[in-house]
Amino acid sequence: MSKWRWLLTTICAGCSGLLLAAEPDWQAQLRAQADRWDKAIVARQATEIKANMSEDFRQIDSAGGTR
């Protein structure tokens, strides 16, 4: 392997670790949000339910229609 290719490979490998470490765990965040919302629904906590919904929140039925 040439010295330049080795250097480029080493730099890229080092940087990729930094990029991956900085990325948040979106799946865990979404699961936690869904869990909080489910618990609020079961407990009938209207304020917490509303806080998780946007102004244009819509329900999608099994036919794909929205309300």
Predicted local confidence at residue 17, as pLDDT = 60
- Confidence check: pLDDT of 14 > 60: yes
Give tens-digit pLDDT for 20-66: 555 578 888 888 989 998 999 999 999 998 888 888 888 888 999 98
19-53 core/surface letters (b: 16 or more CB in 10 A; e: else): eeeeeeeeeeeeeeeeeebeebeeeeeeeeeeeee
Q: Where are the domains of the chain?
A: 25-54
pTM above 0.85, yes or no: no
Predicted local confidence at residue 15, as pLDDT = 66
